[in-house]
Homo-oligomer: A and B are copies of this chain.
């Protein structure tokens, strides 16, 4: 029962999209934009428990979003650009799409009043 897995125990490589689906992880990445930070820094700034922060950082590091360096007992984490670039690349064809469509939308907004909010349940044609 006590299955001690080897360190490379899971290859369930979540996609970069799944990684940044977690709000706290996005918050961590945003904080790391301005400067590298220790676990304790993030713990305070995010109001999260230390184990939670460490676990999110582990996920982020395994996925290549961050890397760490050691300074005394601290680990200082900083951003790595590659995974988010991957996300950005996925968006490219959609950017083409919406730049094409926003003109039409603008035109549409001229006649229509106002566009309903994106968030929340929207009323479309409901059978």
Contacts and interface: CB of A to CB of B under 8 A. Distances in A.
B68 A118 contact: yes
Interface in A41-76: 61-64, 67-70, 75
A112 interface: no
A81 to B, nearest CB: 3
Contacts of A82: 118, 126
A10 to B, nearest CB: 5
A26 B90 contact: yes
A125 B10 contact: no
Interface residues of A, number: 60
A124 B91 contact: no
Interface centre among A5, A15, A61, A121 (most CB of B within 10 A): A121
Nearest to A3: B120
Contacts of A105: 81
Contacts of A70: 118-119, 125, 127
Interface string A78-103: 01111111111011011101100110
